[in-house]
Each structure stands twice: as structure tokens, then as C-alpha cells.
Amino acid sequence: MSSSENNTSIFPKGEKAAPDYFVGTAYVNPLVPNDPTLHIQIWDVVFEAGARNNWHTHAGGQILMATKGIGYYQEKGKPIQVLRQGDVVNVPPHVKHWHGASPDSEFTHIAINPNTQGGVTVWLEPVTEEEYNG
């Protein structure tokens, strides 16, 4: 957790995310494109309130760093975790999960995908209203 709340942004807002993989509106800024030397890909993502990505997995795992607002993270079969500025999540390889904003707050995180030589993201089905409100 941060010692002080922060209402400004570190990175400029990116392009609108592909609607195929999101419910609601999100903006994706590619900070580090997939790099064949560093084997890493990094985005800054802004989710509008209620927006979330589909269920998905990463072959090489993922790190999420919450930088602004209030968000959600859920692994399949576990309760939703609330994320606030300064929270860091380690997503293990191949674990099915989703992330996004909470219903009443925009949410921004940095998403770090390491070990991209094994593949990046496998997109799955959308997160239903029932799952999101669970």
C-alpha cells in the first residue's frame, strides 16, 4: 500500500483496447513492446469503472502493479482480490485469471509479462456479470 494516495498518472493514456478481449472500455499504452533480447512485454492499462479483461493465461506468468484507483484481480476458483495503489500481484504461469476496475472507480495498473519466449497471452471467455459481481 502507498503511504499517500495519488490522483495523477505516470504514463499517458494509450489506445482503446481491442473489444474482443475486454468488457467495457480500457486503454493500453505499450511501454515495452515484446523484446526478443529482454523477453519481456510491459503495458500501462487504464480501465474505466466496471471494465475488465477476459479470462486469460500467460505461459511466462505476469506481474501487476496497481498505480491508481481501485481494481479487481481474480484467479479461477478463488475470491476476487481488491487492488489499490502500491499493490503488486504475481500471477504464476498458466494460471487462469482476469483483472480490471471495480464497479465505481477507474483503475490503472502496469502489466509486466516476462519470459515471452514461451508465448504471451492466451485469451479465453469474457468475465460474466455474475462472476464480476461475485
Q: Does 65 bind its own copies (CB under 8 A)?
A: yes
How far apart are CB 134 and its own copies at their closest, in Å?
Answer: 27
Cβ proximity to its own copies: between 30 and 103 the closer is: 30
How far apart are CB 112 and its own copies at their closest, in Å?
Answer: 6
The size of the chain, in residues, is 134
CA 67 to mean position of chain CA atoms: 11
Dihedral sign from CA coordinates of 92, 109, 127, 17: negative
Q: How many residues bind its own copies (CB under 8 A)?
A: 35
Contact call for residues 72 and 80 (beta carbons, < 8 A): yes
Cβ proximity to its own copies: between 41 and 74 the closer is: 41
Residue 131 Cα distances to 5, 36, 108, angstroms = 29, 36, 21
In the set 25, 115, 123, 131, which binds its own copies (CB under 8 A)?
Answer: 115
Closest CA to 27 of 9, 40, 41: 9
Contact call for residues 39 and 65 (beta carbons, < 8 A): no
Q: Does 63 bind its own copies (CB under 8 A)?
A: yes
C-alpha 72/C-alpha 23 separation (Å) is 14
In the set 15, 16, 19, 32, which binds its own copies (CB under 8 A)?
Answer: 32
In the set 24, 86, 119, 126, which binds its own copies (CB under 8 A)?
Answer: 86
Residues lying near its own copies in the complex (CB under 8 A) are found at: 1-6, 8-13, 31-32, 35, 37-40, 42, 60-61, 63, 65, 67, 85-86, 88, 90, 92-93, 110, 112, 114-115
